[in-house]
Amino acid sequence: MVRENRIKHIGFLSTYPPRECGLATFTEDLVTEIAKMGLIRPSVIAVVDKKECENSRIKYRLSQHDRTSYLMTASWANDNLDLLVIEHEYGIFGGECGEYIIDLAKGLKIPFIITTHTVLLEPSSKQRTVLRDLGRLSTKVVTMAKSSMPILAGTYGIESEKLLFIPHGVPNMQVESRGKLKMDYGLRNKEIISSFGLISPAKGLEYGIEAVAKVVPDYENLMYLILGKTHPCVKESMGETYRQSLMDLAQSLGVQNNIRFIDKYLTKKEVITYLQMSDMYLTPYLSKEQAVSGTLAYAMGRGRVIVSTPYRYAEEMLGDGRGMLSKFKDSESMASCIRTVLGNPTEKKEMEMKTMAVGRTMKWSTVADQYAELCMNIIGSARPLQLKAQAHLTVIERNGMRAI
């Protein structure tokens, strides 16, 4: 007889710290919060590339470019888990457009969920096929942007009944006040704009620097913090060329004293601290395609005024006066948004309040509760089917037959 109150074993397939990437941080935050729940025991299957990934939460490792590892991982999951959550990003799995993950999905006998971190408006044929097949094999498909739901249904052919919105989580961490932090960091009386995350040309930071240069003549106390190290893949292919070009640009525009580069992979506490002291958060990304941004979500969680280019996630999150949208690759448009915020302190405060109201609904504790409820419901629904199959097998065995 199956005990319904037994511990449920839920696995999360993703990159994971100490690997430095946004997906790893997302999974760590989610798993840490779920681990606090009594009836769920989460474990991590870490996607590894060139070197081993050591972390006490990791129970199994998937070798990214070894196709046989995907079938072995499915076998391990079948033997050790009640349900698997696959954090899906094309680039972390092997094969063309990460197609090896389909081998794993087909090998699973337990239910599994897909959390989509990239939903492209115009995918290649292969990208569409990979996500479509994953969606069809899965029990549920989670998206962190409501705007992605019709795309998943229409472009990728995933049944609407499978789709579920759960927001990107944000940390709930207490830090000092904005004024106190500015004093502590030697930035008293500064108007602070910040951008954080792994640096790459896709972030469009050059437009942020140009926008700051246009505003500085009217606001000499403006300080733009560019927080984060260069993305490992970018560093491997082009070294620090992009970062150096940003530093050179600031110098050529005469705003080197208004731009500060923090060249390190920030801890969560450091991220929250810098966001807390910021007056504005800037995401000058170049691509309309960006369906989710963890950095923008973090800024929402701190109730910061956000100035952004109109990529899909920003359009969704900054509606109803929660921020300002500039044009893509247009530093003058961005500068105009910054001036509007700086010149209207009352409206700035109103935007902060609206942003914070949404940010409160995105705390990791709330998000983890939604994932836990989803997983428990799926496991509960799957169990009667498993019991029925077990009963059928028992009848076969009693009749002296073997299941083949």
pLDDT by residue (tens digit) across 161-218? 999 999 999 998 889 999 999 999 999 999 999 999 999 999 999 999 999 999 999 9
pLDDT at 401: 39
pLDDT at 6: 81
pTM: 0.88
Cα separation values, 127 from 48, 69, 80, 93, 155, Å: 21, 21, 30, 12, 11
CB atoms within 10 A of CB 37: 16
Local confidence pLDDT in tens for the 404 residues of the chain:
334 568 899 999 999 998 888 899 999 999 999 999 888 999 999 999 876 677 788 999 999 999 999 999 999 999 999 999 999 999 999 999 999 999 999 999 999 999 999 999 999 999 999 999 999 999 999 999 999 999 999 999 999 999 999 999 999 888 999 999 999 999 999 999 999 999 999 999 999 999 999 999 999 999 999 999 998 888 989 999 999 999 999 999 999 999 999 999 899 999 999 999 999 999 999 999 888 999 999 999 999 999 999 999 999 999 898 999 999 999 999 999 999 999 999 999 999 999 999 999 999 999 999 999 999 999 988 654 443 434 443 333 444 433 32
pLDDT at 37: 87
CB 368 within 8 A of CB 33: yes
How far is residue 33's CA from residue 371's CA, in Å, rounded to a whole number?
10
Burial code (b: 16+ CB inside 10 Å, e: under 16) for 94-122 equals bbebbbbbbbbbeebebbbbbbbbbbbee
Report the amino acid identity of residue 312: R
What residue ranges in 108-258 does DSSP mark as E strands?
112-116, 140-143, 163-165, 191-196, 222-227
Report the amino acid identity of residue 344: N
pLDDT at 5: 67
Using DSSP bridges, classify how beta strands 259-262 and 280-283 pair: parallel, antiparallel or unpaired: unpaired
pLDDT at 48: 94
CB atoms within 10 A of CB 367: 21
The CATH superfamily of 8-169+363-398 is Glycogen Phosphorylase B; (3.40.50.2000)
CA dihedral sign of residues 217, 218, 221, 223: negative
Q: Which CATH architecture has domain 178-361?
A: 3-Layer(aba) Sandwich (3.40)
How far is residue 26's CA from residue 65's CA, in Å, rounded to a whole number?
22
How far is residue 99's CA from residue 104's CA, in Å, rounded to a whole number?
10
CB 143 within 8 A of CB 134: no
Same fold, 8-169+363-398 and 178-361: yes
The domain limits of the chain are 8-169+363-398, 178-361
pLDDT at 19: 86
Q: What angle do CA 339, 212, 299 make, to 5 degrees?
A: 75
pLDDT at 202: 92
